Chain A
Amino acid sequence: MSGGRLLSLYINNRSGGLIYQRNLSPAAAKLRDNDQLTVASMLSSLALILQELAPTSGSRPMSSLEANGFVLCSYDVPTGLKLVMLAEPGTQGLELLLKAIHALYADYALKNPFYELDMPIKCDKFDERLTRLLHDFTR
């Protein structure tokens, strides 16, 4: 166990659309599907606008956000994919976890011939491996 509990996982495509969401704890905020979509796309836009605040050009997008109730860790792939993990404050190793989830996406979503790029991820193998990964992380 690395600090706190994981709350929820969001994956956005390169145009800021939500393609995967999973709540990982009963404590996670319960949002309706539409609200999840809104929050996810706001997050993408916010990260993009925040880059304007950087003193130098070429800054990476927002990578983390902390509040007293939760931490948000965001991992951006140069292809535009955005992986966001919400967790309880003090949870360690979130970025490494998101990198591992990205590898699962590459292996089990993108290599599935029925998966279309930028569309919601509905791949059983991906779900299965993700469950295993998250289980190992929280153990």
Chain B
Amino acid sequence: MAAQRPPYQRLGDVAFSKVEKVNAELFTLTYGAVVVQLLKDSEDVEQTSIQLEKMGYNIGVRIIDEFLAKANAGTCTDFKETGEVIAKVAFRMFLGVTVDCRHVVEPNAPADAMPAFHLIIVDNPLVDFVELPEHCSTLAYCNLLCGVVRGALEMVGMRVETKLLKDTLWGDEHTEISVSLKELVHEQYRDDDE
């Protein structure tokens, strides 16, 4: 493991080297401006979090095509692999950071329980220069990322639930997003009479 990098990491590096880049500070500050404007418009912290998730969803349903067209990630065999690909290839390609993926297994879960994983973002570019003022301390500032993951996976037939569990802005060590599979949607031929 030490000498050879995992293949997904390499795939992510290749994808990152191919995409167009934008100045990281410009990106961070633009995102900050968007969040502030949303807060001003809705005047409600809870509503802003929801709105950010929705914006992310709309990004996700489009961004997935770019990912599929440019990342050459192939087809995932299971949800575990999906997690690895999102963490190592997708986040690297679009945000330039590598993310850790931890698979969660509930201790007493039944055998047919739906799988889930957590994405752990240590070096989150969205939160640079950001502090949450006291009246916004519950704001899910990075909820956009949750929406992106949900939207992107929905387009490839995986209905998932995402939630921002931890955030550096809430005093945690890292940003953590939980992604749990709810349903696999397959398109197939069905007879009208059935």
Residue from B64, B70, B75, B189 in contact with A79 in the complex, judged by beta carbons closer than 8 Å: B64
The answer to the question of A80 belonging to the interface, with a C-beta cut-off of 8 Å to chain B, is: yes
Q: How far is the CB of B93 from chain A (nearest CB, A)?
A: 12
Spell out A's residues near B (CB within 8 Å): 14, 48-49, 51-52, 77-81, 99, 102-103, 105-107, 110-111, 117
Cα distance A77–B69 in the bound complex, in angstroms: 8
Cα distance A11–B144 in the bound complex, in angstroms: 30
Q: How far is the CB of A51 from chain B (nearest CB, A)?
A: 7
Cα distance A77–B189 in the bound complex, in angstroms: 18
Beta-carbon contact of A79 and B187 below 8 Å: no
Listed from nearest, the 8 A-B pairs whose CB atoms lie closest are A106-B66, A103-B69, A106-B65, A110-B62, A79-B155, A78-B156, A102-B69, A106-B69
Beta-carbon contact of B66 and A77 below 8 Å: no
Q: List 26 A-B contacts (CB under 8 A).
A: A14-B187, A49-B189, A51-B189, A52-B189, A77-B68, A78-B75, A79-B65, A79-B68, A79-B155, A80-B155, A80-B187, A81-B65, A99-B69, A102-B68, A102-B69, A103-B70, A106-B65, A106-B69, A106-B70, A110-B62, A110-B65, A110-B66, A111-B62, A111-B66, A117-B61, A117-B62
